[in-house]
Structure 1
Amino acid sequence: MENYDVFGLGNALVDTVVSVDEAFLEANKITKGVMTLVDAKSQKRLLNNLETKKKELRSGGSAANTMVALAHCGGTGIYTGKVSADINGIFYKDDMIRTGIHFEVEPAKTGDTGTCVVLITPDAERTMLTHLGISTGLSGIDIDPEKIKFSQIAYIEGYLWDGDGTKEASIRTMEYAKQFKKKIAYTYSDPFCVSRSRDEFLKLTKEYFDIVFCNFEEAKAMSEKENPEDAVRFLGELCSTVFMTHGKEGAYYFHEGEIKKVEGFPVKAIDTVGAGDCFAAGALYGLTHHLNLEKCCRLGNYLASKVVQVVGPRLDEPIKENIKKIVG
């Protein structure tokens, strides 16, 4: 097996990205700015209501978006998630491979591939409605230790902690990474995800994680601190390296007792989907290519600033030729 920078583990969802107005959210009784889990019937009804609107389809899921952005940087990755052998599952695999990320998971013979409808309002806020479908069928048996053995970092998304099988897959990945002395990077994914599992996340952070990715809202939920530096310091006392994004303010990192804020790139955001995922990609690229933490943060900020200027969670162009110029 060839070597990879990052092994990624997360939900495998086909994203449907659509621009809507505030009235659409109100008419459909949708809570703005968060990820809401829905059943197949509700998702179908929503898609019917969006039938006349322009849509953008992508292979998605939080960790998958990070892996794709990593490839845009010139990094290498291999991804594990669960899809079905339906038309969305075929699209998902083909789209991931097109981006340069290896995806070799055996599809399920039954069930539906998961979907995520991403609604973008004029203020650039993103609201997600997710039908997890067969992605919840991911379990420990789907984790190939060889893929982790030949990767520098194992990157896991926090959303997986919500299901028994996906939790098992997460733990199996962590155990293999420890066995092979690989770094474990974890994203807390969402403030509500943190609220549901805070005690377990605290334990995992202390016992397993080498690197944590979060935004300020997630860090507040974990630390119960209102100040950004206090929040990131709290997490830094549990694991060796923390990256915390803070919107247009930029990002903080904590390592070996040092906190540093790295300014963001001022841009006009039209869609915040994928900002945190792309930040993680920039930092992971830096970590696997021997950049210091400030440069990792700067590259992450740059990728986040680029993705918020387009609709959807993907960068619109490769940036690998410009990385030296970006990080200085």
Structure 2
Amino acid sequence: MSQPNLDVIGVGNAIVDVLAKADDAFLAAHDIPKGGMLLIDEEHASVIYKDMAAAVEISGGSAANSIACIASLGGHGGFVGKVSEDTLGDIFRHDLRALGVEFDTKPLTEGPGTGRCLINVTEDAQRSMTTFLGSAGYVEPDDIDPAQIKRAAITFFEGYLFEQPVAREAFIRACQIAKDDGKKTALTLSDASCVERQFDVLHDFIGKNVDILLANDVEAAALFETDDIEAIAEKARKLCPLTAVTRSEQGSVLIPRDGDIVYVDAIPPTALVDTTGAGDAYAAGLLFGLARGFSLDKAGKLGSIAACEIISHFGARPSESLKDLAQKASLL
């Protein structure tokens, strides 16, 4: 039996998320930048983990979170990412496959253990992340399955992984396969510090390879060197066919190369609990909608629904069916 076509396949860091509540004093004591992401080594990860409050552990990573949300929307998703042959790797693989996601990347047999992200969430719902990448950064071109990429309407790349040179080669290989088969590619910028560190090479990669660019307002300001949305739009149109900029409670802005800017309202949650994964969920809704041929406005609204659900509870995976929520809003 042939495998079904995929709406989106994600290529990103395979990370086990460890989420716990914290206060500003905890962040200060461990030199953790509030609301940001800091890469750390295994020893540092052990020190922070030891001092964290009671935690929830679940398979994560930005692109993997998006693919999990696409599954919740009723879509077909796949994932390419590297875990090790260890307990955390088994947890990651089981969690993702249990959602119906295709995940067949061969594990790393030698080297560091499976990556983990220590996410400390403060009362203002800001998530401050310290990440030990471990095996996650070892994605390589041979991990890209051409047949799988050709089955996907959109191949989606995670900006965090872009910083790894070998993984970047895997991105380029996947882009070439997708382009040759007439399929779309998408990239999320992930973090403003990633943009600043990779500024020139990132611009070059986007201009040559990316059809759909996703960023929050801080990341967009870093990439386009302005926080004025009209100026961002002017520069974005020259760089990429479609750019989506999320702006928290102000909603999102969709900037097509040809056509008017589309403004999409945010959906206020009943309670703002944890912003972990909000951007990942928005990306899922938007990309799922675009993969299914929806209008920019409708796809953006799916993104808003997904993001609203995620920030209303602890953790980066849906606790309610996103498909049900979208159907209630007459979007599916």
Question: Which bin holds the TM-score, normalised by the shorter protein?
Answer: over 0.9
Distance 1:159 1:219 in 2: 15
Q: Which residue of 2 aligns with 1:45?
A: 47
TM alignment of 1:98-137, pairs within 5 A = 98-110=98-110, 111-137=112-138
Q: Which residue of 2 aligns with 1:7?
A: 9
Aligned-pair CA distance for 1:257: 3.4
User: Would the aligned equivalents of 1:9 and 1:63 in 2 still touch at CA under 8 Å?
Assistant: yes
Distance 1:238 1:211 in 2: 10
1:216 aligns with 2:224: no
TM alignment of 1:226-241, pairs within 5 A = 226-241=227-242
User: Would the aligned equivalents of 1:232 and 1:244 in 2 still touch at CA under 8 Å?
Assistant: no
Q: For 1:299-324, what per-residue CA distance to the aligned partner results, in whole angstroms no more than 9, with x for missing partners?
A: 10111111111111111111213424
Aligned-pair CA distance for 1:235: 1.2
TM alignment of 1:173-322, pairs within 5 A = 173-255=174-256, 256-267=258-269, 268-322=271-325
Q: TM-score, normalised by structure 1?
A: 0.96
Distance 1:79 1:232 in 2: 31
Q: How many equivalent pairs are there?
A: 326
Q: Which residue of 1 aligns with 2:141?
A: 140
Aligned-pair CA distance for 1:47: 1.0
Distance 1:132 1:38 in 2: 8
Distance 1:327 1:242 in 2: 25
> Which among 23, 27, 32 is matched to residue 29 of structure 2?
27
- The residue identity in structure 2 corresponding to 1:85 is E
User: Would the aligned equivalents of 1:298 and 1:327 in 2 still touch at CA under 8 Å?
Assistant: no
Distance 1:152 1:93 in 2: 23
Aligned-pair CA distance for 1:237: 2.2
Distance 1:214 1:301 in 2: 14
Aligned-pair CA distance for 1:109: 1.4
Distance 2:164 2:282 in 1: 26
User: Would the aligned equivalents of 2:305 and 2:325 in 1 still touch at CA under 8 Å?
Assistant: no
Aligned-pair CA distance for 1:132: 0.4
Paired-residue identity, %: 36
Structure 1 residue runs of 4+, over 4 Å off?
none
Aligned-pair CA distance for 1:65: 0.5
Distance 2:316 2:8 in 1: 19
- Provide the secondary structure at the position in 1 that maps to 2:59: strand
User: Would the aligned equivalents of 2:252 and 2:266 in 1 still touch at CA under 8 Å?
Assistant: yes
- The residue identity in structure 2 corresponding to 1:173 is A
- The residue identity in structure 1 corresponding to 2:96 is M
Indicate the RMSD between aligned Cα atoms, in angstroms.
Answer: 1.3
- Provide the secondary structure at the position in 2 that maps to 1:258: coil
Aligned-pair CA distance for 1:229: 3.0
Q: For 1:5-26, what per-residue CA distance to the aligned partner results, in whole angstroms no more than 9, with x for missing partners?
A: 1111000000001111111112
Aligned-pair CA distance for 1:297: 0.7
User: Would the aligned equivalents of 1:236 and 1:257 in 2 still touch at CA under 8 Å?
Assistant: no
Cα pair distance change 1:234/1:257, threshold 3 Å: farther
Q: For 1:78-109, what per-residue CA distance to the aligned partner results, in whole angstroms no more than 9, with x for missing partners?
A: 10000000000000000001122111111111
Distance 1:321 1:275 in 2: 18
Distance 1:136 1:266 in 2: 35
User: Would the aligned equivalents of 2:21 and 2:120 in 1 still touch at CA under 8 Å?
Assistant: yes
Q: TM-score, normalised by structure 2?
A: 0.95
- Provide the secondary structure at the position in 1 that maps to 2:7: strand
Aligned-pair CA distance for 1:143: 0.8
Cα pair distance change 1:294/1:327, threshold 3 Å: farther
User: Would the aligned equivalents of 2:262 and 2:296 in 1 still touch at CA under 8 Å?
Assistant: no
Aligned-pair CA distance for 1:327: 5.2
